[in-house]
Structure 1
Amino acid sequence: MTGEQPVLSRDPAALPAELPRGSELPEDHDPLAAGVLMKHQVEWIEDESDLKGAEKGRRTGITYAEALDDTLLAAKKRSEGGQNVFYIGDTKDKGREFIGYVAHFAKIVAGELAEVEEFLFEDQREDGSSKFISAFRVRFASGCRVEALSSRPENIRGLQGAVVIDEAAYHQNVRAVLDSVGALLIWGGKVRIISTHNGVLNPFNELIRESKARKAAGEVTFNWHFIPFSTAVENGLYERVCLIAGKTPTPEGKVAWEAKIRAPYGSRTAAMRQELDAIPAEAEGAALTRVQIEACMETGAPIVRWSLRDEFKNLPEHVRKAEAETFCREKLRPILDSLDPKRPHYLGQDFARSGDGSVVVVGETDAILTRRVRLILEMHNVPFDTQRDVLYFIGDHLPRFSGAALDATGNGAYLAEKAVQRWGERALEVKFSSEWYRVNMPPYIEAFTDQTIVLPRDEDVLKDHQSLAYVGGVIKVPDDMRFKGLDGLERHGDTAIAGALMWHASQLGPVEYGYQPASEATDGGAADWLCPEAAGEERGLW
């Protein structure tokens, strides 16, 4: 077996078949045949990250894909990157199933007549004592081996090679894996963590949240794959079942088949979501407590609230612009001029035209990478073009303006698009979706746990963040969560979403440009345009 892996099939027209268990594979079953691997299995195998994990639904085929990947790894010579593999399942039967896959793949893919050996694995504890664990093993001609252990060894650090933790949420202490990762990586090892969920407070779910927060901050951590049962169905699981059963797949049959799988859960929707949809149970209710939020608040940062009368939108354009200019000069300019010119600044906007507030949150990153909110602007009943002018004023006057994330959902698309046109790569249009919330809200929530965000101390801001809740497995403000602020106006978690957008913008990294100082510009007109003060004019938006 050479170090070159076979090309994995991506033929979308092929009908993949359901994966039997390790001991049930037909003699001629070839995992690399066209159409056998589903899209999410291919993506899992092609991910060569040293640290990767999968939060998955039941029977989505990731254990099968991992066994194939491990077979290819162990079959290679060490000089070509081959390694030993240690599989740690939650039950002895799971280990036997896994090693059955490996033995079959060794014969079909690697051309080796490998036998499954049952033996006692000696787990050397850190205190010098030993514990013997029942295990299964397949040896390869390369000198490497794949071992499936029946229970988690106490000294994971002693396992040099690739370590696979399957159904991690059902192990006693997933946290011990984290403590062992560094030692495993020193010698070029790999760590794979695979599991369905087992509650929102389970260490497996906490690991996912922490990993996503660290990855958003640019740190090297686990690369997570989200594989609910619905994804497997999309990728051909139903068609595979039909192929095995000798039936013809139909769109109607597909809907009925998935409904049949879900029916036994009855009213136990939380259990169904956890088992099939990779949504941890108990994931309902507030995402942040009042204590967590207040611990990240301090006095000082101003909150500016601007509410306009209905007839304002019908005033002549020059009158609207004049009133907006006066507001920006008197209310915003002193705050913006007081910002630290040495700190990068970011903004997030949750857009609204009427009813809810349209909120802009401005934050800076300080020397210890804490995001400190320096200004919150709440606009009520402010016309589109006036919001645009005010947004331009804020962004144009931010010191080291490094990024903006703006709500581009619905009516917000106009303002977000104008921001991109004005600020280019520094501005990001965000269309809210369940996937966006799933990926980007955990890092924001984690910031309150780590106290790496500072908000103004304000009752409305507090209530906005208290309204963040788990809805269908993602963190968002529930659609029906509305309340009146201290000013009597309706709120919908406005500063919480704008704050999350500001946080998101700060995670993307600044866009830096080369420039020529105005004093060195050869064309006077260009210098005056870049810096009106150089021409003796007061700098302004208009």
Structure 2
Amino acid sequence: MNQKPLAQAVADASQPVSTAAILLGYQQKWVADNSAVKVIEKSRRIGLSYAEAADDVLYAASDEGANVYYISYNKEMTQGFIQDCAGWAKAYQAAASQIEESVIEADDKQILTYTIKFDSGHQIQAFTSNPRNLRSKGRPGERLVIDEAAFVDDIEELLKAAMAMTIWGGQIRIISTHNGEDNPFNTLINDIRAGRYDYSLHRVDLDNALADGLYRRICQVTGQTWTREAEVQWRQQLINRYKPNEDEELFCIPALGGGSYLTRVQVEACMADAPVLRFDGTREFNALPEPARRDAMGDWIREHLEPVLRTLDRQRRHALGQDFARSGDLSVIAPMEIGSTLHRTVPFLVEMHNVPFKQQEQVLFAVGNGLPRLCGVAIDSRGNGSYLGEAARDEWGSLVDQVMATENWYRERMPKHKARFEDGGITIPKSDELLEDYRAFTLVRGVARLPEGKTNKAGTRHGDAAMAIVLADSASDMDGVEIEFTPAPRPGSHNDDDGDNLNLSGFGIGGGAW
């Protein structure tokens, strides 16, 4: 005879149920763990969210408990969780309201929420996506549940905000299957294992769940007769359905590179020794009058930049990209050589921190006018970057693309840029900071882009150098035509038959402009 589904059986119970009588061993271990922060890497569809719902209802319904906030990456998961909570509330005979559905405004978008209120004065509130107003949460004892964390947009920023909840005795529960080796969720798992964090870590793969009775429970719920042979067959059928992703989906083994858009191996394989020139705008430098700053920057250009420019191949076309920042992040200039086989090479990088607009313009012009056969320039022209974008346009005219990096722009550019690494068609400077910048690119709604906030562990970068190279790559694909001309000699120069004594100036000059 077919038995009722487990959730229905629980909901129909005439007496309060025991959670331990319903949950399997690994679910019980998860619920029993009262750590301030606990994390679980798990197989698909083993009932962890169901167990979490059971615990959350008890917590919110208790006078000693507090509010519970739940976040997942899609509407269906959120609805499923809140319905599980409603079922458990009925099973526990906990006095609770019906599910309330509402919409909140956050970051110019609407987020659907579901709420169950308890007579204790607490509530369970489930969000369909990451709300920025999470930073306002964190009253004593409040709990945050992040479900399928590896698939939530900008998980690192979410965790930053979430950790504040622990200050007043709050709790954080992070549940997920894996989504790639370089995903921040897997990085968190590895950091916990390395002892960097004292969070509690659980792991339940398919075989762990089967050992604790998962298939027996499935048979119980669906009215089937359990046998060892049937379980072995069911396991193999499940593995076959998930191929070729069975390791990640069922056995907690993250796939290579599924989190970051580009893997560490791909990026490192395209790295070679090349200089990274850095200039830090100190307080003393920025306090100087502009003419004095111009002279000081001119000295730096002559000492550090011009020797590198002189090493470039005068026969090759060059493009240029700049990711602009004034003080918070780095402002990075990336030249790019286009080889005879169309191989792209970044011969050096210029990284500036806290440098005034006029001196950034000074360095940008020195680089651009010193590049042989300049054929394209792409400048990040969002916000204050519009100043340099306009200045570059005045200097180089139609060679300049004033880029507003929208989602559509990323959608068009990033697959082409990724293909350079996959095909070995690009060479970039060997730098750990640049590697971190590239690993910051992640898929957001299916589009590779940089997340909001800092992207390195030191909190000093926002993918700046990688973005400058992406812009340079975009500029290298432009249809701009280099300008060929012979400049007139400056007053006081001597023009001989060989032209060796000409003091050249202007972009497009084979010998650079010094």
TM-score (norm 1): 0.44
